[in-house]
Structure 1
Amino acid sequence: MSYVPPHKRRSKEPVRPCPVPESVSRKFTRNLNLDGRQNTSGQGRKVIYAKDCILKWFLVGSDGIEDEISPSVKLVPVSSDYSEWNWRDGRKPWVLVNNDAGEKDAEIGETVVRTPWLSVAEKVEDDIFMAFGQVKNGMDHPALEEVTPRLVARFGKILLNGHPSFSSESLKGGLVAESTSRESKKSFCTNVPTSYMESIKDAAVLKLGCCMEKKDIYCVILSDKTHPDSTISCKCTVKEDKRLVMHRVELNALRHCVADVSCLNQNIDMRLMVYSKRILTALTENEICNIRKLVDSAVVDPNVKGGLRWPLGEAVSGDRYSVCGVWHVINTVYRSSTFRLKVREVDRFDFRAGTGGAAREVILVLKGISQKLEEGGEVERSSVSDMLKDALKMIWDHFLSADPYFM
């Protein structure tokens, strides 16, 4: 057999393309444009915490705050039905489940007056007063002419994103106190089941009695190169000609107090939060023009995530603003003299990450307490305390349900 030079030999291996250098691959992925969206360098909408933000996490059973974890409380992985929460590290988050909640309730019966809401009120009352005081002391920002503190309750499930060795045994010995440790990161999932939303509409709203209105809102989230640590949200509605109408411009909310409550005898958890709503009202004519240019160039498209897209090259305005996200919110709002209930469906898209998702959310704005704490002069502590207890009792009676959730 005659000799064949190496460069003329035929390999039995399948022909493969030359590998693409990693730097080129990253650049290609970054510049890839799908469904007409412009990838931008701006940050997605951020969660901003005040410098002295108060963070708490505690567990509540049928008769109040749980100082020790019951052996019946276990950690179980989130159901595959909620695979959208299996983020980042590829592992499913965990949730707390009380296996004998029903048996414990049966043992308690009617011999004990169960007032878990009183325990929660005592636990968070000082923090709420302190958080509102922080907002009042920080209202001298020159670019902000309207800062409104709010107390809200959100409903969902506390997710524990832990170390591979993370188990129910690690609950003992102060996991709650160490809730910010790297090995037990915690998040609050606000995406509730359809059954829960319907029960809120059919039961809670009918019993409480309030006026209803429906809103269809688009939030265009912008990054500002001059303020890289913040994002700007433009609240818009749609005209008959499918163009957006901008109503107000806000900075991302600033959180002052977050208290997460694991409700061991329910399958719904609660988050109590004090945050400041920051509406920008001192923008220059040039700033308004650049922001409005981005809003006006948006194209309403129900076939894309978030419901909006931008023509090629029009997701950037000048050398300062760029679109980094969009929310489409269908909001059903129930109002009374003391609270505002939002039952909403949200479709989000993050331009920076190139990802999006839909969620169903229930938010209760405790309007009466917020207004009382905003009043000038000395606030009567006892009246606010009574209002907080009444509000939490209402939440326990109407918003914390034992319907299946994350099982």
Structure 2
Amino acid sequence: MKRKSRKDHFVRALMIREPATFRPQRRAYTRLSARFFHLVDAIAQAHEPTPTQLAALERSYNSTGDFLSECPEFSGLLVQVHSHGSRRLGTIVRPRDGSREGFDIDLIARLAPSARYKYGGDQGPALLLDHLHRALSRYARAHGLRLHRWERCATLEYAEGMCADIAPVIDAPLLSGPHGDTHGLIPDRELRLFNSTNPRGYAKRFDLAAAISPNFPTAEIIAKAMDSARRADVAPLPDAEEVFDRLLCRLVQLLKLHRNVAFGSVKEQDLAPTSVFLTTLAAMAYAVEAPMPHASPLELLLDIVERMPLQFERRRLPGGAEEWVLPNPSAPTDNLAESMNDPLRQGAFFAWHGRLLEDIKRILDAIENHEGLDVLLKAVKIAFGSRGFTAVQQMEMGRQESSRRAGRTILLASSAVIPVNVAARPHTFFGA
């Protein structure tokens, strides 16, 4: 009988329509939290752009913005070109397309409110997109770049595999609603209309959620224990304050990286949940859970992940189908779950969510039960792919070598004072 693969089980689970009921056993151990977040840091950093790559991204889109500001198509109308999405939020990771080393960024070409007069009527959205494409075509030819045209934006392929999605947005402030001053309109060629959007308002909402301080009643004990773990293990572990400050951003990166591995490269029928859907669910769940008392950062993270499927509305439609609704609080009529309104995608989300919890549990078991580096690396590779595997492997090998050097130094220093017999302590990689 042919043994079914993990992928087969995942495909069969696509028809699951309820949130996963699996609930990993709670671990309030501070040391386990420190180790887990150290591991997450290593994995996330391996998928982040280097300072050199970030500088190249900044130069590229600043150059593009300067060019657009001087184009006759937008004479006197272009206010600003700015980044949004993961680059702005601090949650950027490598793209799902593993064939290139570059990163993707999202840019907004902001136009003044007066642009609504130039691009009004049924043909206005298409005309605005035509003007953007015409201007960017000249830029692409001048710099030897490739340009792709879409229904709501255009994509420039810069050097070294970097890509920028550039969308035009007309400022359209609202008199009411949160962050209404940054509200705008984005064109849709196919629908021949402008949709409500607010990328700057969305970023502000995310920042407000991320700024909420987690409620750890034993925070002082946690910090001391984590500092103790850092000293005991020689190799640097994340400082407690650093873990708390960037917890939401790291969680979003964790979700996106796991999604990328679970769904693989982009296919013709892509069932993966969108980044904005996952980011919004994580931010909303964090805003609810962070003020509540939690014994450790790890317990908080698990509660946030488990709460995510409860953060959007599921409306039953005639015939048994569902419509998912996740309103953008800064942009009326913008449903951030709109792309999820397909039965296969909805089933895939719940299947992925269950797999995420299982994979986290497998990693925690390997850490807590001292199952060895090979077991831990296998669990990391299943959850976060080859790059995550390599990052943790290099980190652990470096920690082992640092521990050996420190052990030799301590032994030599001790023997210079008084002869002692020191029994070698067996290495448990992640400690008790």
**TM-score class normalised by the smaller sequence:** under 0.3
State TM-score, norm by structure 2.
Answer: 0.25
Structure whose residues are more often strand by fraction: 1
